[in-house]
Amino acid sequence: MEKRITFDNEERVRRVLGINDRNIPYMETLLGCELFVRSNDVVCLSEDPLIRSRFLQLFGRLDRLAEHQLFLNETDIFMEFQAIKNGADPDTEPPCGDRRSIRIHNRRAYAKGANQERYIELMEENRIIFAIGPAGTGKTFLAVAYALSQLFSGLKRKIVLTRPIVEAGESLGYLPGDLAQKINPYLRPLYDAMELLISPSNIRKLEDGGAIEIAPLAYMRGRSLRGATVILDEAQNTTVEQMHMFLTRLGEDSKAIVTGDISQIDLPKSKMSGLVHAQKILQGIDELAFVHFTSND
């Protein structure tokens, strides 16, 4: 027997199910049933009336939550499912409260928890921000959201996305294709975050117009970046020399957001991580701030 829920539009489906329906397997595990996506419909197949009821309640709550959030992750889904199991009123609105947010056109990316609130505050108040912590804590997503908000509000002229390419030894010349084709797979997490906020077609237009630039870290040498929000992702895999080079690229009216997870360093043991080194020596400097995330975030 099946139960069906229909979303108003494709955007709402994307927010709830995630890019490429990535949230579906987790939802199936929680609910204990198979789910099928058909256009704007999600169908639950189960003979158990309790499962069918929970399916309708869960997707109803997630649909309402997606009115305020640009994407939902496993934590959001789990919290709503637990609320249902604990007997929450099906008509109760999931809380958004007065959380700090980042506005991109008519959309908002909301902070989840005190550390993300602090992160947004630090990005607003400082020129260089280091966000350190494990994957899944919103470091990259909020950095991209902030960069887009600065671009669309006219406060910055462009966004520069970069990361060290340890896998290719920073030497991409032997790979086929132009620079964008070579670097794009390595920057896929940044694109995934961007696609939760604006459409892929708009991303391409911004790239074609030079408002979004992608570059491996090695290509930053000798440049001076002005009027830009620069995101350095996977910064735990920079060397000390690379980190110094990156930070000295910032020109007039530019801001750097550096993200990384110091528990996932892929450098040779003889090389010290530039992110670890920066954390040790760059404390207490004006317009420079650190925020640390944990797995609880």
Of 275, 186, 269, 282, nearest in space to 237 by CA: 275
Token pair belonging to 65: 């939550």
Pair 137, 184 in one domain: yes
Given a contact cutoff of 8 angstroms between Cβ atoms, the answer to whether 28 and 34 are in contact is yes
Pair 142, 221 in one domain: yes
Pair 48, 149 in one domain: no
Would residue 60 count as lying in a domain?
yes
Pair 164, 284 in one domain: yes
Would residue 94 count as lying in a domain?
no
Question: What local confidence, expressed as pLDDT, does residue 16 receive?
Answer: 92
Give the end of a domain, one of 38, 59, 85: 85
Pair 237, 191 in one domain: yes
| Cα separations in angstroms, 256 against 75, 88, 144, 231, 270 | 28, 43, 11, 6, 27
Give the end of a domain, one of 27, 52, 85: 85
Pair 157, 46 in one domain: no
Question: What local confidence, expressed as pLDDT, does residue 259 receive?
Answer: 97
Question: What local confidence, expressed as pLDDT, does residue 98 receive?
Answer: 60
Burial of 277 (0-12, 13-18, 19+ CB in 10 A): middle
Would residue 117 count as lying in a domain?
yes
Residue 116 CB contacts under 8 Å (≥ 6 apart), including other chains = 100, 137, 138, 142, 297
Question: What local confidence, expressed as pLDDT, does residue 41 receive?
Answer: 92
Question: What local confidence, expressed as pLDDT, does residue 95 receive?
Answer: 56
**Residue 247's domain is classified under what CATH number?**
3.40.50.300
Given a contact cutoff of 8 angstroms between Cβ atoms, the answer to whether 58 and 27 are in contact is yes
* pLDDT per residue rounded down to tens, the chain (297 residues): 889 999 988 888 988 998 889 899 999 999 999 999 988 999 999 999 999 999 999 999 999 888 877 778 887 888 788 888 877 665 565 555 567 888 887 677 878 888 999 999 999 999 999 999 998 888 998 999 999 999 998 999 999 999 887 644 445 554 445 666 666 677 787 888 888 788 888 899 999 999 999 888 887 888 889 999 999 999 999 999 999 999 999 999 999 999 999 999 989 889 999 999 999 999 999 999 999 998 877
Question: What local confidence, expressed as pLDDT, does residue 220 receive?
Answer: 83
Helices 114-125 and 139-152: crossing angle in degrees, nearest 10, is: 40
**Phi-psi category of 63—alpha, beta or left, where left has phi over 0 and alpha has psi -120 to 50?**
alpha
If one counts the domains in the chain, the total is 2
What is this structure's pTM? 0.69
Pair 108, 73 in one domain: no
Would residue 297 count as lying in a domain?
no
Question: What local confidence, expressed as pLDDT, does residue 184 receive?
Answer: 67
| Cα separations in angstroms, 178 against 78, 165, 183, 184, 236 | 42, 16, 9, 10, 26
> What SS3 class is residue 199?
coil
Would residue 281 count as lying in a domain?
yes
Question: What local confidence, expressed as pLDDT, does residue 181 receive?
Answer: 66
* Residue ranges with strand state E in 52-127: 101-104, 107-110
Question: What local confidence, expressed as pLDDT, does residue 168 receive?
Answer: 44
Residue 12, phi then psi, degrees to nearest 5: -65, -40
Burial of 118 (0-12, 13-18, 19+ CB in 10 A): middle
Pair 29, 162 in one domain: no
Pair 274, 141 in one domain: yes
Q: Return the bridge partners of 107, or none.
A: 104
Question: What local confidence, expressed as pLDDT, does residue 292 receive?
Answer: 96
Question: What local confidence, expressed as pLDDT, does residue 67 receive?
Answer: 82
Residue 171 CB contacts under 8 Å (≥ 6 apart), including other chains = 218
Pair 12, 117 in one domain: no
Q: What range does the domain containing 30 cover?
A: 2-85
Would residue 45 count as lying in a domain?
yes
Pair 159, 217 in one domain: yes
* Whole-number Å distance between alpha carbons of 56 and 241: 54
The secondary structure of residue 148, as a DSSP letter, is H
Question: What local confidence, expressed as pLDDT, does residue 169 receive?
Answer: 47
Pair 252, 128 in one domain: yes
